[in-house]
């Protein structure tokens, strides 16, 4: 797994103290990857909604707690493009604006276009079954809404409950054909690595039973103990461990990742840990030879 990045992302809503450019400054040593994702946005979002976002950026409006500019629209299209590219190359797209709170026709929580949902819908249209795991500390309500009635996408989220966006309860399991294809495993204020890994170990067997062709991970870093926006206490090690366990469980499948939240200055270090976990998890497990059995 390799990083996908572009310095244009720094120009979107740059001075915001919450979802500002400071979050991704440590990635500027990465080469610029350019893929305009504009043509894929309508796979998920309505044309009226796309027009509204484009117009709001042109008029430099304030929307979804974000100060928009022309660079915002370009960055949002590029974020979609890198999300799609990540899904094709098993990459980790480091993008802004984030996407997992955006629904088909609604901005929400700093998100304009739902990057992971668009990349996943493209895969579904190509006949693939997609498992989306959202490990941002907030519930991925936009992604859940988009696939709530689908049985082609299994959506699972581990997040702090009783905080923004005030959804993601265990009883939210899907609707119509999608019943059973949404899994919410909420955590409580003060929970950390141990509780997270317990939830992950409940999700993995269900996801293996779903037999996905590809796994997309919404990686937000706001459950980190140094992030003040939530009250989760994940350590650096958690991101390595989660990635390792996922890749070990889905060793023969493609995995890709897309950045969501994380409002502190350690995002680069945690993203590197996540990638290391994926890369180590992809190696074959060591051969264990039992001393009780002899051959020959
Ligand atoms: Zn978040």
Could you state, in order of their start, the residue ranges of all structural domains in the chain?
3-281
- Coil, helix or strand at residue 198: helix
Ligand 1 centre and the CA of 137: distance in Å? 5
Ligand 1 centre and the CA of 206: distance in Å? 24
Q: What are the tens digits of pLDDT across the range 115-171?
A: 999 999 999 999 999 999 999 999 999 999 999 999 999 999 999 999 999 999 999
pTM: 0.95
Q: What are the tens digits of pLDDT across the range 205-235?
A: 999 999 999 999 999 999 999 999 999 999 9
Q: Rounded distance, CA 259 to CA 267, Å?
A: 10
Ligand 1 centre and the CA of 50: distance in Å? 23
Task: Calculate the CA 64 to chain-centre distance.
Answer: 19
Ligand 1 centre and the CA of 126: distance in Å? 29
Ligand 1 centre and the CA of 17: distance in Å? 15
* Burial zone of 295 (CB within 10 Å; 0-12 exposed, 13-18 middle, 19+ buried): exposed
**Catalytic: which of 100, 101, 108, 139?**
101
The residues, ordered by sequence, that sit 6+ positions from 283 with a Cβ below 8 Å of its Cβ are none
Cα Rg for the chain, rounded, in angstroms?
Answer: 19
Known catalytic residue at 101: yes
Ligand 1 centre and the CA of 193: distance in Å? 17
Which superfamily is assigned to 3-281 in CATH?
Histone deacetylase domain (3.40.800.20)
Q: What are the tens digits of pLDDT across the range 184-204?
A: 999 999 999 999 999 999 999
């Amino acid at each position: 797994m390799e990083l996908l990045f572009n310095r244009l992302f720094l120009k979107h809503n740059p001075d915001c103290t919450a979802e500002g450019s400071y979050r991704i400054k440590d990635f500027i040593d990465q080469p610029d990857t350019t893929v305009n994702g504009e043509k894929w946005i309508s796979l998920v979002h309505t044309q009226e909604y796309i027009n509204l976002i484009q117009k709001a950026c042109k008029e430099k409006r304030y929307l979804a707690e974000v100060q928009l500019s022309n660079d915002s629209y370009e960055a949002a299209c590029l974020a979609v493009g890198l999300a799609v590219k990540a899904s094709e190359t098993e990459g980790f797209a480091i993008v802004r604006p984030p996407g997992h709170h955006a629904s088909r026709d609604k901005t929400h929580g700093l998100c304009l276009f739902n990057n992971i949902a668009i990349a996943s819908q493209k895969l579904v249209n190509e006949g693939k079954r997609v498992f989306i795991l959202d490990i941002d500390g907030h519930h991925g309500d936009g992604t859940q809404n988009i696939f709530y009635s689908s049985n082609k996408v299994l959506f699972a989220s581990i997040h702090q409950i009783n905080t923004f966006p005030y959804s993601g309860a265990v009883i939210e399991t899907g609707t119509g054909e999608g019943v059973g294809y949404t899994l919410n495993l909420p955590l409580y204020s003060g929970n950390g690595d141990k509780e997270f890994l317990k939830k992950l170990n409940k999700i993995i067997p269900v996801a293996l039973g779903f037999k996905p062709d590809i796994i997309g991970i919404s990686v937000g870093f706001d459950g980190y103990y140094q992030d003040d926006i939530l009250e989760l206490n994940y350590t650096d090690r958690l991101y390595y461990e989660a990635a390792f366990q996922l890749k070990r469980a889905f060793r023969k499948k493609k995995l890709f990742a897309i950045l969501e939240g994380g409002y502190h200055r350690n995002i680069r270090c945690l993203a590197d840990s996540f990638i290391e976990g994926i890369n180590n998890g992809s190696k074959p497990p060591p051969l264990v030879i039992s001393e009780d059995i002899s051959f020959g």
